[in-house]
Chain A
Amino acid sequence: MSLIKHPQVERLEAHVSEALTKELGEKKLFSVAPFSEEHAEQTGSSDYSYWRSTFRAFRRHWVAMGLLVLLLAILIFTFIQPYLPGQFDPNAIANAENGLPLKNQPADSVHWLGTNSIGQDLWARVWAGTRNSLIIGISVALIEAAIGILVGILWGYVRQLDFLLTELYNILDNIPTTIVLILVSFLLRPGMSTIIFALSITGWIGMARFVRNQVLIIRDRDYNVASRTLGTSTWRIMTRNLLPYLVSVIMLRMALSIPGAIGSEVFITYIGLGLPIEVCSLGNLINEGRKLMMSPNLRYQLIYPTIILSIVTVSFYIIGNAFSDAADPRNHL
């Protein structure tokens, strides 16, 4: 190997340095970077926002987005439907010109989905039923969440309560849900509040256990130990340290318990313990339709409520799952 540079290399180096001076002139290659507060901020904290990323991830799931829009449209429509022109009262019996009730009338321009076996407008009943079923589902989800979260966080966080609540859980969880549902609906007067009560007292147990397990996972993380050492009150730790962490998983549970409640209402109605007949609900409508399902030309009275029910429950299910995926920080970016 020779240390003497090859003439070609020498020529190339000279050429490059000449080009550089031409290009940059007398400018220095490096300059001093002054302190800038603005830039310092930027590196100090990332502009990552949990909720913004969650919604960005959720928006990418176009099926769930579409269903969310559909569901919101249905929800709004059930509330404005009675005020639209040409609507009937869900309990009013329509009479034909000869004064007799219009029974089992097929769909036409007046009764958009036809009438039922005693002459009530099915279109109005379906929407009133959807409204009531949604109210039931959402109330149950909210009550379940409120009780479940409170008990669950106490159960997971306060060690003295663990034994007591675990034993209580073992007892309550072994009681078959169906039996409780049947007994409660049978003991209380039929009505919306009874249904909501019956469904809530069976649902909160699962929610509490779920929250408890989540709390157990994060209870002794460093930031909680730090808070405890600094003398933060239990209540404040529960609401400030634990709860925000749990929001996404709780939302998922709630989204899934709404279709569950709507379905249980159908079951309770079937065994004859549901809402009184003048309060429409999807369960009531499906049960009325069931009685007629053996005659093929009246089957529409079962099928229309079923279609709405399926759209609502499937939407909640898919949205809930998509949201829980989106809320998982590992799926962000």
Chain B
Amino acid sequence: MLKYLAKRVARSLLTLFFILTIVFVLVRQMPIEGYFPNFEKMTPSQIENGLHQMGLDQPMTVQLANFYKGLLHGDLGVSRVYNRGKPVWDILKTKIPISIQLGSLSILFSMLVGLPMGIHMAQRKGKLPDHLGTAFIVLIQAVPAAVYYLFIQLYGTELMQIKLRFDPGDWRSWILPVLSLSLGNIAYYAMWIRRYMVDESTKDYVQLARIKGCNGSRIMFRHIFRNAFVPMAQYLPTSFLNTVIGSIYIESLWSIKGMGGLLVDVIHKQDNNMILGIVLLFACVGIIGLILGDVLMVLFDPRISFTKKGGDGA
């Protein structure tokens, strides 16, 4: 297990290296005009001077080497436009907590709503609650999030008589962003838990439990749910990541001062170091999420093992 994880982490570092390099090169393809707000009025020598100050006139390989040298020392560089001269990490430090809080609240909420909803739908398969739930899932999955977020903001704020801007001190202004962030996950959880539970309920061990005389809800929760939850467990950390990244839209819609909104902002401002810092953070969260997901799955289901190969688990 440990050996497997060590290998996995080593490979992730390689992945991280590729991601950062690709993004680093891409970011440097951006038009030069973007670096200077008053580009038209500048003389060629001023432009050259400005590029030199940012180190953008050096060959790509030198720039890349410098970047990694800094990174290994834990230095992400300084912000160029967003907050001039301030180290990137210091800026990010203040932004991370709110994104994490939003993401965690949303995951908690979607589990609390999505899982019971899916279980309920599975129990009443083919009846009205199942149909209503399916309609909800189809609607949420088919209609682009970018659209229904808008309507939640539009009518939600009117209904609750609150402002469009997010105010971390006011608990009421947390409700709608968290709800918006959760809807996609609620639909996803409900859909999968329903499907797994319906699939599992025809298996032999359920028949046996029924013959033994277990009552329905005991079978549902003790037997079926535990099996149906295994694939869900693998997805959990990834869904946390998706929530944090999905918040790019939500955060900028509600002017929340988190990381998602920040990414859009710094890309517009061509603040290279900030872009790389945020990409690094997102990529790390993503990779850790994938690894954690596999670990969780092993913890939930003792039959699954990383080290054994082949189909016979006995």
Contact = CB atoms under 8 A, between A and B. Distances in A.
Interface of A: 170-171, 174-176, 178-179, 182-183, 186-187, 259, 262-264, 266-267, 270-272, 283, 286, 290, 293-294, 299, 302, 306, 309-310, 313-314, 316-318
B147 interface: yes
A294 B158 CA distance: 10
Nearest to B241: A176
Given A174-B15, A314-B138, A302 B150 contact: yes
Give the interface size bracket for B toward A: 35 or more
A259 B142 contact: yes
A263 B286 contact: no
A272 B269 CA distance: 12
Interface of B: 11-12, 14-16, 18-19, 22-23, 26-27, 29-30, 138-139, 141-147, 150-151, 154, 164, 245, 248-249, 252, 263-264, 267-268, 279, 282-283, 286-287, 290
A174 B19 CA distance: 8
Contacts of A263: 143-147
Given A176-B245, A263-B145, A314-B139, A186 B18 contact: no
A306 B149 CA distance: 12
Given A171-B14, A266-B146, A270-B249, 12 more contacts: A170-B15, A174-B290, A176-B282, A178-B245, A187-B26, A263-B146, A264-B144, A267-B145, A306-B147, A309-B147, A310-B142, A317-B138
Greatest chain B CB density within 10 A among A179, A270, A286, A294 is at A179
A176 B283 contact: yes
Given A270-B146, A293-B150, A313-B143, A175 B283 contact: yes
B27 A318 contact: no
B15 A314 contact: no
Greatest chain A CB density within 10 A among B143, B249, B287 is at B143
A183 B248 CA distance: 14
B228 to A, nearest CB: 21
A316 B142 contact: yes
A169 to B, nearest CB: 10
Nearest to B289: A174
Contacts of B286: 174, 176
Nearest to A305: B147
Nearest to B20: A175
> What 7 A-B pairs are tightest by C-beta distance, nearest first?
A263-B144, A317-B142, A266-B146, A314-B142, A267-B146, A313-B142, A171-B18
A179 B150 contact: no
Nearest to B260: A178
Contact of A179 (B16, B249, B279): B279
Contact of A290 (B150, B263, B267): B150
B252 A271 contact: yes
Greatest chain B CB density within 10 A among A174, A183, A259 is at A174
10 contacts: A176-B279, A183-B27, A187-B26, A263-B146, A267-B146, A286-B146, A299-B154, A313-B143, A313-B144, A314-B139
